[in-house]
Amino acid sequence: GDSVTQMEGPVTLSEEAFLTINCTYTATGYPSLFWYVQYPGEGLQLLLKATKADDKGSNKGFEATYRKETTSFHLEKGSVQVSDSAVYFCALSNNAGNMLTFGGGTRLMVKP
Amino acid sequence: DAGVTQSPTHLIKTRGQQVTLRCSPKSGHDTVSWYQQALGQGPQFIFQYYEEEERQRGNFPDRFSGHQFPNYSSELNVNALLLGDSALYLCASSLGQLNTEAFFGQGTRLTVV
């Protein structure tokens, strides 16, 4: 079945540092890929998405590129802020519907 | 524009009891999906409702059931609660079954004691 693997956290960075959170997937067909963010005590918010190979999703300074050859969708940001502290989830949706398969999440902590 | 709303926000139940959680989708959305998020883990898909019918189901036992009403709102019912059912239950809505843009509510935190 479909699965998503993320790097384990927590990831602790200083403000303005470069962020990479690795995500790889296993899926049949051609899934859409997503990054969701969850702030403390809240539900999930869609951060960015990509629907086909080589697409780059971007939002709020975050970006991720759909790499079919390496089955990866790594999240990057050039300069993190304290307000980026949250849990980040990589997810996929196959073409049979919009059921989402999530990774285990990566907690990001940004220190001033 | 109201987003996805869930009620209640928190709930404590005793093992063996039954619970009903409620979800109102984002305005204009007709598809509702439910997810279970155990502490420290990613959400797991429970099922999806569209046109008042269950369309997809994840790997959850029959103790988990649901319903969708004509106004697209939805309920999640869990019978014979187990301690392991303690989790954050998330509702997500979208427009159409194949639309990949899902919007999530803030969730219901269920604690089974």
The closest alpha carbon to A91, from A29, A28, A27, A39, belongs to A27
More confident call, A93 vs B77: B77
What is the per-residue pLDDT for B84? 97
Across chain B, mean pLDDT equals: 94
Give the per-residue pLDDT at A1.
85
What chain B residue is nearest to A41 in terms of C-alpha separation?
A: B106
Task: State whether residue A1 sits within 8 Å of chain B by CB.
Answer: no
Q: Which DSSP string corresponds to A16-79?
A: T--EEE-EEEE-SS--EEEEEEE-TT--EEEEEEE-STT-EEEETTEEEE-BTTTTB--EEESS
pLDDT given at position A95: 63
Q: What is the pLDDT at residue A98?
A: 76
- Tens digits of residue pLDDT in A23-62: 999 998 889 999 999 998 888 999 999 999 999 999 999 9
> Between chains, do B97 and A98 touch, taking CB under 8 Å as contact?
yes
Query: Best residue in B34, B100, B109 to probe A by mutation, most A CBs within 10 Å?
Result: B100
Q: Mean of the pLDDT values across residues A8-33?
A: 94
User: What pLDDT, on the 0 to 100 scale, is given for residue A29?
Assistant: 80
The Cα A18–Cα B82 span in angstroms is 43
* Confidence band, pLDDT 50/70/90 cuts, at residue B99: low
Task: Give the minimum alpha-carbon distance from A49 to chain B in angstroms, rounded to a whole number.
Answer: 9
The pLDDT tens digits of the residues spanning A68-94 come to 999 999 999 999 999 999 999 999 998
The arithmetic mean of pLDDT across residues B90-102, rounded, is: 83
Q: Is the pLDDT of residue B32 over 70?
A: yes
- Confidence (pLDDT) at A94: 81
Q: Which long-range contacts (CB under 8 A, 24 or more apart) does B41-46 make?
A: B41/A104, B41/A105, B42/A4, B42/A89, B42/A91, B42/A102, B42/A103, B42/A104, B42/A105, B43/A44, B43/A89, B43/A100, B43/A102, B43/B90, B44/A102, B45/A99, B45/A100, B45/A101, B46/B76
Contact A100 B45 (CB under 8 A): yes
Q: Is the pLDDT of residue A8 over 80?
A: yes
- Please answer yes or no on whether B98 and A98 come within 8 Å at the CB atom: yes
Least confident of A45-49, A94-98, A100-104: A94-98
B1 band by pLDDT with thresholds 50, 70 and 90: low
Check pLDDT > 70 for residue A97.
Answer: no
Closest CA to B21 of B57, B67, B80, B54: B67
Residues B69 and B64: their CA atoms lie apart, in Å, by: 17
Kindly report which listed range (A14-23, A87-96, B86-95, B103-112) carries the lowest average pLDDT score: A87-96
CB-based contact B48 A44, cutoff 8 Å: no
Matching residue, tokens 């301690």: B83
